[in-house]
Amino acid sequence: MPENDAPIEGSKNNNQQDITKFLIMTIASIVIMFVVFAGVNYFIMENLISQKMSSIQTSGEEIDDEEGGDEIQKGIIVDLGDFILNLCDENQKKYLKVNVAIEVSQKEDDFAAQPEQKKGGHGEEAAPAADPMASIQTEMNQYKPAIRDAIITNLSSKTSAELATAAGKELSKEQITNDINSILGGEREVLRVSFGQFIIQ
């Protein structure tokens, strides 16, 4: 009987060795596939990230260029004072109290260096240079009556319901801008119209 058992044990050992080899080969091939997959994945992700970064950098530069080109123009503020006027409501009388200021464009020579006046005789000091803002305000004062009239005409043609909405206020500002630009006749351009205190009663 022992002689018959020996070949069976030998075949069992061979089967176990074959299974062990198969398992080792399978695990090794899985590890190799995983390493290859990880390497390919890393390479692809690296390329995608670098492409994204370069596109973001390019778009950022374009935005900077656009912002530089479309820089907000700064103007000169002209306060037109308070307005108290009746509105165009039919059923009951409503009035508006509003403060209006406009921002007008600058001219190239507005803030040019003023030439110093020569000293007078006998140690007299030179007269101070003219204030550029004062001369601009003087220039705008000649237009103020016509500008105030245009604002009164525009706002008094509105109802309280129209002026109570943001859209209604913006429409009035746009219309006032066009009216004042026609009064200025190209000498300056209105950049913005601002309402300060705005009370409807």
CATH of the domain at 98: 3.30.479.30
Which of 20-24, 110-114, 132-136, 152-156 ranks highest by mean pLDDT?
Answer: 152-156
Instruction: Give me 120's structure tokens.
Output: 């007078």
Q: Which residues of 137-147 are buried (b: 16+ CB within 10 A; e: fewer)?
A: eebbeebeeeb
- Rounded CA-CA distance 70/93 in Å is 44
Single out the residue in 53, 71, 89 at which a domain terminates. 71
Helix axes 166-184, 144-156, angle to 10 degrees: 150
Q: Which amino acid is at 98?
A: V
Q: 44 and 84: one domain?
A: no
pTM value surpassing 0.85 = no
Q: Mean pLDDT score of the chain, rounded to an integer?
A: 79
- Catalogue the E-assigned strands of the chain: 76-86, 95-104, 190-200
pLDDT the model gives residue 40: 81
Q: 150 and 187: one domain?
A: yes
Identify whether 141 is part of a domain: yes
Mean pLDDT of 64-87: 74
Which of 21-35, 56-70, 146-160 ranks highest by mean pLDDT?
Answer: 146-160
- Rounded CA-CA distance 99/131 in Å is 26
Which of 52-66, 107-121, 181-195 ranks highest by mean pLDDT?
Answer: 181-195
Identify whether 189 is part of a domain: yes
Which of 55-64, 65-74, 87-96 ranks highest by mean pLDDT?
Answer: 87-96
Identify whether 120 is part of a domain: no
Of the given ranges (61-70, 75-84, 127-136), which has the lowest mean pLDDT? 61-70
* Number of domains comprising the chain: 2
Single out the residue in 23, 50, 71 at which a domain terminates. 71
Of residues 188 and 136, more confidence is placed in 188
pLDDT the model gives residue 1: 47
Q: 172 and 148: one domain?
A: yes
pLDDT of 32 over the 70 cut: yes
- Rounded CA-CA distance 184/104 in Å is 10
pLDDT the model gives residue 121: 55
Which residue segment(s) compose the domain that 150 sits in?
76-109+131-200
CA atoms within 13 A on the CB side of 38: 6
Identify whether 125 is part of a domain: no
Cβ proximity of 102 and 180 under 8 Å: yes
- Rounded CA-CA distance 77/147 in Å is 14
Q: 47 and 80: one domain?
A: no
Q: 33 and 101: one domain?
A: no
Identify whether 114 is part of a domain: no
Identify whether 123 is part of a domain: no
Identify whether 16 is part of a domain: yes
What percent of the chain is modeled with pLDDT above 90?
Answer: 33
pLDDT of 198 over the 80 cut: yes
